[in-house]
Chains A and B, each alone.
Chain A
C-alpha cells in the first residue's frame, strides 16, 4: 500500500485528528473559568496497518498509516477524592456553626449599642435616684421606665434568638415555618443532589470512557459529590465505570441509576403524631426531625443524631442541643436571668414590712393594702412562668397613679397587729429601695440561687464571656479549616485547571501540524495530478 493514495489518506487522517485536537483545546479555553471543569488532553498515537511486516525498510514504511486519537484524557488529581470531600464537609460544618454563633454574638454586642448590660445598670441607677427621692413622682416614673427598658431589652433579645432558631429549624409546629427554614432548604438540596447523582450514574454507565461526553459527566459527578458533602459527610464508593454508590452510615442512598432512599423533614409536632401512630418512644428535642424514606417504603425515623456533619449537622447542633453555646443554651440562661430579676425584686417589693405611698385626700402616706398584687415584674401571657420573652412590668404600676405602688419604705420590726410598729408619715423612708440596691453586691438570698448566688451583672457577664470565647474559638477553627480547604482547592486547580499558555501552545502546535498535513495533502495531490497527466 506504500503508494500516493495511502499517503493522501494519512495526511487526511492527520487533518481530522488535528482538527479534533484543536476542538479539545477550544473546549478547554471555552471552559477555562468553568467551576469544576477539568482540563482535557488529546492523546495521539501512531496508526499502523495490520499487515505482516517484512524485513525490508520499504515494506515496513508501508505499514505506517498516520495518526489516531487514542483517547481524550481528563486531568484528575488525588485530592479530588474522599479526603477533599471530608475536609469540605468539615469546613461547611464549622463555617455554619461560626455563622450561627456570630449572629448570637452580634445580638449581645454591648460595644455597638444599648445592650442588656446597660439596661441592668440603668435600672440600678434609677433605683439609686429613687432612694434619693423616694416620694418624688418623677423618680418613681423614671424607675418604672428603666424597668420597662430592661424587660423590653430582654424581650427583644429573646425574640431575636427565637427568630434565629426559627430560621434554622422552624418553630416546631407550623409546617409553613419549617418550609422557610434552612434545614428544609438543605434537605431539599440534598434530595435534588441524590436525584442528579442517580441521573449521572445512569448516563455514566452508558457512556464510553475517554470521550468528551464521559469526561464532562465525571466533572459533573464530582461537582455533585462536592456539593452534597457540604451538607453532610456521605460515604462514596466509586466504581470502575465512574458510577458512584452513596451511603450514610451503611444505608445506601444512591446505587446505580436509582435513588434508594430520600430524606424527609418534619416538624416536631408532625413527628410526635408519627410516634403516637407507630408506637415509637419520642426522644426528639429538636423543632425539626429528619427521616429517611427508603424506596421500598420503609422509613427510618429521626436520624437527627446521625446527621452530625456538614451544614445539616451544624444547623441541628446550633439550634437543637442543650450543650455548648447556642441559641438554646443562651435562651435558657436569659430565661434564668429574667426569672431571677423577677424573683429578687418582686420578693422585696411584696415582703412584710414593705410599704408603698398612698395618696389619701391630697396628703401622701404609707400603706401596704393589697401589697401582694403590686409585684413589679409579671409575665405578659398571664402565666406564672416568667421567661426572657414574656417578662414585663405589672400593668397595675403603669396605669394611673400606679407609680405610687412601688414599695420604697421598709420597717424591719413591722407587726401587723401593732400600729405603733410603723410610722405612716415616713414617706422619706427608702429602706426597701436600699435593700434593692444592695442586691448588686449581696446575692445570698434564695432568689439568687438559680444563678449561683452572684450578681445579675456578673451572671450576664458570664453569658457574654461564654458567647465571646465560643465565637473566638469557632472563628479560629473555621479560619483554620478554610485555609486547609483553600490550599486543597488551589492544589486541585493547579493540577486540573486550564492554563491559557498551555492551551495556546497546544493550539499553535496543532495548527502547525494541521497546516503541515494540509501541505502534505497538497503535495500528494500535485503528485497525483502529475501522474494523471502522465497518462494523458
Chain B
C-alpha cells in the first residue's frame, strides 16, 4: 500500500491549498483597502501593544500642545495688560513731574486730578481683565473682581465720589494663587501672577466710631481714614492723588486768604504749598520702582513664553517621531503590497484552476 494515492486525499489537500491561498489573498486585500498592515491586535499582537502605547503618548502630546497654546494666549493677554498699565503709570509719573515743578496753576492741577482719576479707573479696569471668563490677576479667585476702587465719605458717613483707595480681592501672594497646566508628564507651568505682585494695592478704610456708622472726624471736621496697605503702582497712584488734592486745597486756602493777611500768614501758606510740591516730587522715585516692578513681572512672562515655545518645538518633534514610528509599524508599503496582492491573486487562481482540472480528471473520462 505504500505510495498509494487516493482521490479523497488529493481533494482535501487541494481544498486546503485553495483555502490557504484565499486566506493570503483576502488578508492582503484587507490590508490594501485599509492601507494598514495591522488592523486588529490579532494581526500582530506584539507590535499592536507598541502602537497602542504610542497612540496613548500622541494623545498626551495633543493635550499638552493644547495646554501650551492656552497658556501662551493667557500669558500674552496678561503681558499686554501689564504693558498698558505701565503706559498709564508712565503718564501718571509725567503728570507728577509737571505738577511738582510748582509752575502749574490751580486750574491746571484740577484738570490733572481729573485725568488722574481716569487713569486710576482705567488701571483698575485693566487689572480686572478676564480671559476665558476668569479674572487673570486674581490668583485662584477667578470669579471675584481682583480690584475695586474705594470711595471716601462725608462728615455724615455718606459715600462721596472721591477716590481714596484701590483694594485687591484676589488670592494673597503667600496663598495658593497658582493656576497651572500640564505641559509634559508631571510638569506643570504656571499661567498667572497675582495682581498683588504686579500692581500692589492701597487698601484704605474710613475710621468709624464704636457704632460702625458715624465717622471719626479730625480737627477740621473731615472724616479720617486708615491706610491698611500701600504698595505697587496702585499705591503710588493713590499717594499722588492725595498729594495733588492736598496741593489744590492749599492753593485754594492761599486764594482765600483775606486781603489783610499778614506777611507771616502768607509765608506760612507758601511754605505749606512748597511742602506739597516737594511731597509730589518725592513720589517720582516710587513711580520708577513700581514701573520697574511691572517690567520684572512682564519679563517673567517673556521667560515663560520662551520656555513654552521650546516645549512646543520639543513636542512637535516627538510627535513627528512617534507618528513616523507608528507609521513604520502599521502603514503598508503600497508598492510591495500591490505586487504581493497580484502574486497571491495569481496563486489563488492557479490553485483553483489546477484543482478543477485534477478533480475532473479520472478514468471515467475514457470509459
Contact = CB atoms under 8 A, between A and B. Distances in A.
Contact of A498 (B6, B59, B363): B6
Given A438-B186, A442-B186, A409 B6 contact: no
B272 interface: no
B364 interface: yes
Contact of B9 (A132, A471, A490): A490
Contact of A468 (B46, B56, B172): B46
A500 B362 contact: yes
A502 B6 CA distance: 8
Most buried by A among B171, B172, B176, B185: B176
A464 B52 contact: yes
Contacts of B4: 494-495, 499
A384 to B, nearest CB: 32
B52 A105 contact: no
A493 B12 contact: yes
Contacts of A145: none
B316 interface: no
A489 B9 CA distance: 8
- Sorting the interface of chain B by its residue count into under 10, 10 to 19, 20 to 34 or 35 or more gives 35 or more
Contacts of A102: 42
A520 interface: no
A157 interface: no
A461 B52 contact: yes
B56 A497 contact: no
Contacts of B176: 410-412, 423, 426, 429, 431
Interface stretch (A51-59, A87-95, A106-114, A523-531): A106-114
Contacts of B186: 438, 440-442
B142 interface: yes
Contact of A110 (B41, B133, B175, B188): B41
A32 B133 contact: no
Given A489-B12, A508-B367, A428 B140 contact: yes
Contacts of B362: 500-501, 504
With a 10 A CB-CB cut-off, give which of A108, A133, A426 has the most chain B CB atoms: A426
Max chain A CB contacts within 10 Å: which of B6, B60, B143? B6
Contact of B6 (A105, A429, A497, A504): A497
Interface residues of A, number: 68
B67 A128 contact: yes
Interface string A107-146: 0111110000100010011001001111110000000000
B363 to A, nearest CB: 4
B249 interface: no
B262 interface: no
A135 B141 CA distance: 10
A125 B12 contact: no
A425 B143 contact: yes
Given A112-B39, A494-B9, 8 more contacts: A75-B1, A109-B42, A132-B181, A427-B142, A493-B6, A497-B8, A497-B9, A499-B8
26 contacts: A106-B40, A109-B40, A109-B41, A111-B41, A111-B48, A111-B52, A112-B40, A121-B59, A133-B134, A411-B176, A425-B144, A427-B140, A428-B138, A428-B142, A434-B182, A438-B186, A464-B41, A468-B41, A468-B49, A471-B45, A486-B16, A490-B9, A494-B4, A494-B9, A502-B6, A504-B364
